[in-house]
Amino acid sequence: MLAAAAAARLAEAGVPSARFDAEVLLAEALGIDRGRLPLADDATPEHEAAYEALISRRAAREPLQHILGRAHFGPLTLAVGPGVFVPRPETELLADWAAGQVGRGAAIVDLCAGSGALGLYLAATVPEARVVLVERDHAALGYLRRNAAAATASGTATVLAGDVRDPDLPARLTGLLGAVDLVVTNPPYVPEGAALDREAAADPAAALFSGADGLDLIRDLAPLAARLLAGGGTVGVEHDDANGGGAVALLRAAGFGAVTQHRDLAGRPRYVTGRMDA
């Protein structure tokens, strides 16, 4: 009954996943897994008060992940909140593709790492991977370091405070890894002025927007990835569904071959990949 009433309230507030969110937040208030809700005893007044506070925050369109303080991404549970981009399920497609491109002991760089979703996914799934996660934003670095410290990995995951536009960055990375086998990135890629839903707008603007066409940072990332992969390797770049053609052109201009456009589960262009021959 509590979840049903809360779901109706969230739906009225425009929350797209009202029933799911209502159940997740009820489980949070009760301190149990969502799957145990049918077995839960009646909520106490204290539970009901805690639940009301959580539902009020979600009805105000505060992102669910901010309320919980965590987001799930593949095998990971990542700390997130105000100041860091909340990873989206569609990025798991890039992560899964990337994990299939390299073998044991691969040297991997995650540029614009944010919470660490891509790089830590690879650290968890590629045996003995050596992963460096690069992020420049102070607030995001706090979450990234926390997530890297908590991650389970058979290899190493190293956080590097750095700007992808710094010309000295390749030298700093090569010193950590040696030859790089794979570069992945989910950079800011939303065109300036694009309409966002209220939850997406809660992400830091610096993690979202990248010039009039959303490609400004990818213009810098493509040649950087080419330098890092000069010994041969693969790159994967997530992009806005409106600028996939531009991302393809930028990888080709940087010298990548076998440039391929990939679509998400809704059929929208979502990420582009390429290879650099030694």
pLDDT in tens, 125-156: 999 999 999 999 999 999 999 999 998 878 89
In a domain, 66, yes or no: no
If asked whether residues 127 and 227 sit together in one domain, one would say yes
Binding residues for substrate: 186-189
In a domain, 112, yes or no: yes
**CATH number of the domain within which 243 lies:** 3.40.50.150
**How many beta carbons lie within 10 A of that of residue 89, not counting itself?**
12
If asked whether residues 50 and 94 sit together in one domain, one would say no
In a domain, 69, yes or no: no
Binding residues for S-adenosyl-L-methionine: 135, 186
Binding residues: 135, 186-189
Domain that holds residue 36: 1-61
pLDDT in tens, 80-103: 999 999 999 999 999 999 999 999
The candidate with the shortest Cα–Cα distance to 98, out of 69, 67, 71, 119, is 119
Model-level pTM? 0.94
Lowest-pLDDT range, 30-34, 46-50, 141-145?
30-34
In a domain, 68, yes or no: no
The candidate with the shortest Cα–Cα distance to 250, out of 207, 205, 208, 213, is 213
